[in-house]
Amino acid sequence: MDFALRKVAFSDLPGWAQDDPAALLPALRRCRHHVETVKHHRTGSLGISSQDLLPAYRAADDLDAPDAATSRAFFEENFQPFAIERRDGKAGFVTAFFEPTVAVSRERTGEYTYPFYRRPDDLIDLDATNRPASLDESFAFARKVEGLFEEYPDREAIETGFLAGRGLEIAYARLKTDVFFAHVQGAARLVFPDGSSQRVTYAAKSGHPFSAIGRLLIDRGDIDAATVSMQSIKAWLDTHPEEADAVMWHNRSFIFFREAAVEDPELGPVAAAKVPLQPGRSLAIDRLIHTFGVPFFIASDSLTRIDDGKPFRRLMLALDTGTAIVGPARGDIFTGSGNEAGERAGAVRNDADFFILIPKAAAARYET
């Protein structure tokens, strides 16, 4: 492994005594329900399994409306913290994501013209057993044509009509940038003219690698690297309509969605762990290394935009993943839903210390 785990005490976690992880206890119960009634989460290469986590999940059911101190005591009783240390000596790194709120219409009108698409039936999942040699290993999806697999049409092809007339439209937005950033976030909360709402969550993608248009705009000198954020990128696109399509088409990856109800407006969408995201307490991780449902404590002196100017110190739960989230100490923080959450997530690109909490019964396997 290109990292090591170092056993530490809870008192070694910066700001642990001031954190209030009570919101994570309902999230642990939701993880337990999924693991016990649907299936266990896939075990990452680190080797922590859902079976290892179940005793803590069950213990969380015994706590009724705990306060901050009782919640911290629960984690201290059931978990052992380890610092994640990269062998190259570099710090961990965090970004943030949110669930956009987008005004939409169920029908295409003169005002609402940009569609959210369902997954097309000619999009096929790829793995080692069916991926043709012509497609890079990074492609997890392809198009099946006359029994053969080929690269699926990319963002430009889809937005210029490839899927037209197939009845795949879920709803229509006013702005193409609203749809584009919903693709980047992998989900959105759609609000219809009558005030009703509906979620769309990730169902599949075209298969092409994600390409950051912020990096393209920085390299072109259109945006300052020191101030780049989702908001500054969107502002540039909105004020340069003659160039916006070409810039967005630079990101060939295209996302398809599935519809979902907004069952609890206080929670985020159901993510890769198949449970709803807890705003401010959910973390996307590298699922090849880590297992969903594992707690992480994240500490960053430079990340102050989320906690009202204070350094970020929070216990989080691994509930999602993403193609850009690669490595043992790499995380993406879910800040919530709507514009305010988007402002908090906007420019998060910060070094951070990562501590993984391993169930005590399994912790001996990781002590050196």
How does pLDDT run across 225-246, given as a tens digit for each residue?
888 888 899 999 999 999 999 9
**End-to-end C-alpha distance for the chain, whole angstroms:** 14
* pLDDT in the model for residue 148: 87
pLDDT > 80? residue 65: no
In angstroms, the CA 346 to CA 240 distance is 20
In angstroms, the CA 25 to CA 75 distance is 10
The backbone torsions φ and ψ at residue 250, rounded to the nearest 5 degrees and listed phi first, read -60, -35
In angstroms, the CA 5 to CA 356 distance is 9
In angstroms, the CA 55 to CA 71 distance is 16
In angstroms, the CA 157 to CA 252 distance is 9
Tokens in use for 362?
Answer: 């399994």
Rg (CA), the chain: 21
In angstroms, the CA 336 to CA 273 distance is 17
* pLDDT in the model for residue 227: 83
What is the distance, to the nearest Å, from the Cα of residue 342 to the centroid of all Cα atoms in its chain? 13
In angstroms, the CA 297 to CA 14 distance is 9
In angstroms, the CA 102 to CA 173 distance is 7
Neighbours of 293 (CB within 10 A): 27
pLDDT > 80? residue 75: yes
> Any residues with CB less than 8 A from the CB of 207 and at least 6 apart, and which?
126, 135, 139, 140, 141, 142, 151, 152, 253
**DSSP state at residue 161:** I
Asked if 116 and 179 count as a contact pair (C-beta separation under 8 A), the reply is yes
* pLDDT in the model for residue 346: 81
Q: What is the spatial order of strands in the sheet that 197-205 belongs to?
A: 114-117, 169-173, 101-105, 187-191, 197-205, 255-260
* pLDDT in the model for residue 98: 94
What is the DSSP annotation of 345-366?
HTT-EEEEEEEEEEEHHHHGGG
* pLDDT in the model for residue 136: 87
Share of the chain above pLDDT 70, in %: 100
**DSSP state at residue 288:** T
pLDDT > 80? residue 368: no
Instruction: Specify the higher pLDDT residue, 278 or 147.
Output: 278
The backbone torsions φ and ψ at residue 283, rounded to the nearest 5 degrees and listed phi first, read -130, 135
| pTM for this model (two decimals) | 0.87
* pLDDT in the model for residue 123: 95
| pLDDT average, residue stretch 12-16 | 98
pLDDT > 90? residue 183: yes
| pLDDT average, residue stretch 12-35 | 96
In angstroms, the CA 61 to CA 53 distance is 13
pLDDT averaged over every residue in the chain: 94
**DSSP state at residue 98:** E
* All structural domains of the chain: 3-96+266-366 (2.40.40.10), 98-260 (2.40.240.50)
